């Protein structure tokens, strides 16, 4: 990707009121370079409270706790549930 930029030598007095220059650059010829600054989108940091607030009244929240926390594998849990449903009249 080719980045467009502009380079120009100007009298530093033209920058008064625009940018503060160190004393060593005042009243001298300076080179300015103008180029596009690409903005990177950042992922916001979310706290536990932020996540809980987003989940409030969501389908995801309604699913939390559906499966008990245990060492039983999902296929074993499924077989157990199907056996219980078979006994229901």
Tens of pLDDT, residue by residue, the chain (89 residues): 667 889 999 999 999 888 889 999 999 999 999 998 877 777 778 888 887 777 776 766 666 666 666 677 878 878 887 887 776 65
Task: Please state, in angstroms and rounded to a whole number, the distance separating the CA atoms of residues 55 and 62.
Answer: 9
CB 32 within 8 A of CB 7: yes
The pLDDT score that the predictor gives to residue 32 is 92
Domain residue ranges in the chain? 5-35, 48-86
How many residues are recorded in the chain?
Answer: 89
Give the end-to-end CA distance of the chain in Å, rounded to a whole number: 69
The pLDDT score that the predictor gives to residue 28 is 94
The pLDDT score that the predictor gives to residue 17 is 87
């Amino acid at each position: 990707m080719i980045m467009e930029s502009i380079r120009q030598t100007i009298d530093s007095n033209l920058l008064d009121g625009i940018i503060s220059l160190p004393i060593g650059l005042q009243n001298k010829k300076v080179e300015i370079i103008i180029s596009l600054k690409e903005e990177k989108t950042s992922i916001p940091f979310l706290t536990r409270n932020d996540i809980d607030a987003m989940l409030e009244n969501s389908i995801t929240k309604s699913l939390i706790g559906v499966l008990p926390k245990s060492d039983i594998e999902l296929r074993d849990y499924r077989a157990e549930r199907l056996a219980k449903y078979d006994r229901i009249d």
